[in-house]
Amino acid sequence: MSVSYQARKRRVVTGSAVALTVAGVLMLVPMAWMAYTSFKLDADIFTTDPLRAPEAFSVEHYVNLVTRFNFDTSFVNSVVIALATVVLSVVLGGLAAYGFARYPWRGSRIALAFLMLARMVTPAALVVPLYIVMQSLGLLNSVTSVIVGVTVLNLPFVVWILIPFFESVPKEVEEAAELDGLSPFAVFRRIVLPLARPGVMTAVLFSFLAGWTDLLFPMTFITDSDVMPLTSGMLAMQTGYKIYWGELMAGGIVLTLPAVILCFALQRYLLRGLRAGY
């Protein structure tokens, strides 16, 4: 007896859902283990049986993040870097993407190709030139140097994300708004950006993650512990004499949670943005 199309479709959907669920659980296991370890005492972390339930749970490692490793200051620095990267990347990248989408010129496609090639350059190749620039401008040992470095790498990506969304906005809508007396910039701000919201939110998310998780530029440009973000601040937990595993796990949770929360908050925009932008 042949299986109907609807039955085969249900099986495929069910199988896909099961496979995705299993993959999701497996991806969450490391983070769950990291959270579990962060609440253990050192004696339980270094036990020969890591699966054994600890005698007591403690927030000692989270307290040590602030009292010993200056994580409160590092958290503020990371927030400043991430938010500044979002603002600069979305504002500058949005204006550039709108210019490419609405005001093309001869050679604009070639310029876009070179823009993408610039994004493909490994960040390590830009460290020395950017270091020299930051040194000449007196920006070393400041969050500004990291913001500039991350934004330079992130801008081409933002431009490429936003161009398809701006191209999908009907020109007739913009022309009608201009006939109503809006300036070109007002049309961009009040008409185009709301209609391209999924793309803008996708750009916001990726820009935040770029600034929040960057390690290369803080390691290169910053040596002052009071200016370090969370990523480079965690390196202080690994010394030549000891590795503070409990604090490392707690720091990993602190570093991961804001990104996870933002991904869930912007999930609907992210899915629509990735489908429409590629």
CB 103 within 8 A of CB 166: no
156 contacts: CB under 8 Å, gap ≥ 6: 115, 116, 118, 119
Only one residue has tokens 């490994």, namely: 122
Most trustworthy range by pLDDT among 76-85, 92-101, 245-254: 76-85
- Angle 84-71-227 from CA coordinates, rounded to 5°: 50
Say what the pLDDT of residue 263 is: 84
Please say if the pLDDT value at position 277 is more than 70: no
Q: Are 153 and 116 in contact (CB under 8 A)?
A: no
Q: How far is CA 63 from CA 22, 41, 50, 59, 78, in A?
A: 34, 13, 23, 6, 19
Alpha-carbon distances, residue 94 vs 73, 143, 184 (angstroms): 31, 23, 14
Tens digit of each residue's pLDDT (9 = 90 or more) over 48-65: 677 777 777 888 889 989
Confidence of residue 184 (pLDDT cuts 50, 70, 90): confident
